[in-house]
Amino acid sequence: MMKYFLLLAFGILFAACDGSNSVQQVNMKADTVLMGVFKTGDVDKLDRIIADDILNHSRGGQVGLDNLKLLINGFHLNMKNPKMEVIRKMANDDYVSDSVRFIGGNPTVVIESIEVTRSYDGLAKWTLVFSKLAG
């Protein structure tokens, strides 16, 4: 009986140590795509990483992927050809957070943001962004 218990425990530990598909890694990959969308404005890439019913807390609780796309398109209309620097990325299973700096086509426009996303199986379900003009 003890032998079966040890084999089961070893199997569970071995599976838990396999970082190739951990929740955190899946969500970090999705977040990397999200940050790329903020940088480029290519909102079509959101379809595979954002849930249709995403809740955007930073916009008064707006719901929906289309609202997030509008937000990003509006950002790119106002901030021509932004350069983006990821200062720090942190993750803890469902949550991924990025500290980023955007520099607009006019170099005097600098926006610093902290973005937090909660994802389930690589699909973002809610997001919250804190932004401020730097300088």
pLDDT digits (tens, 9 = 90+) for 48-63: 999 999 998 876 788 9
The pTM of this model reads 0.78
pLDDT of residue 93: 85
Asked if 91 contacts 70 with a C-beta cutoff of 8 angstroms, the reply is: no
Residues 6+ apart with CB under 8 A from 13: none
Average pLDDT over residues 127-131: 88
| pLDDT tier for residue 120 given thresholds of 50, 70 and 90 | confident
| pLDDT tier for residue 21 given thresholds of 50, 70 and 90 | low
Residue 13 has pLDDT above 60, yes or no: no
Tokens 């299973």, residue?
Answer: 93
Helix, strand, coil shares of the chain, percent, nearest 5, are: 45, 40, 20
Could you give the 3-state DSSP secondary structure of residue 56? strand
Using CA atoms, how far apart are residues 9 and 133, in angstroms rounded to an integer? 52
Residue 2 has pLDDT above 80, yes or no: no
Between 18 and 9, where is the model more confident?
A: 18
Residue 47 has pLDDT above 90, yes or no: yes
Asked if 71 contacts 56 with a C-beta cutoff of 8 angstroms, the reply is: yes
